Amino acid sequence: MKRWRGWGMENDAVPVEVKSSLRNLLEMLVGSPTPLPMVTLDEVIAQVPASRLGDHPLIDISPEARVRHARGQSLPDWLAMRSGDVGVFPDGVATPNSAERCASYSTMPRRRILR
């Protein structure tokens, strides 16, 4: 499964060793680092508000799916997810797996799924 707050897969080990020469250069250029708090997926899931969408078989309104699709893959997105400062969450996640299913989303009446 894809990492919820970064690149790669959930079980892949990512070495985070920075050589002292690089650390010294970075500190000289941008200053000493201030670590962000590192929150868990469960802590972020607890922040997800209720969805404004009603139940629909083609849309996942589960809090975890909404967290995993709340931000992109840019550095600011990673930092927001890592610290728990996600901001906004989608109301639902559509995952079409065929052209027919994709077409069905476009014909879905908006009033039917909104609460």
* pLDDT tens digits along 31-63: 998 888 889 999 999 999 999 988 888 889 999
Count the domains in the chain.
1
pTM exceeds 0.85 for this model: no
Give burial (CB, 10 Å; 0-12/13-18/19+) of 66: buried
Residues of the chain with pLDDT under 50: none
The answer to the question of residue 88 being in a domain is yes
Helix (H) or strand (E) holding 59: strand 59-60
Torsion of CA 97, 101, 106, 108, to 10 degrees: -130
The answer to the question of residue 86 being in a domain is yes
Phi, psi of 42 (to 5 degrees): -60, -35
Q: Report the pLDDT value the prediction gives residue 14, as an integer from 0 to 100.
A: 66
The answer to the question of residue 69 being in a domain is yes
The answer to the question of residue 6 being in a domain is no
Range of the domain at 74: 37-113
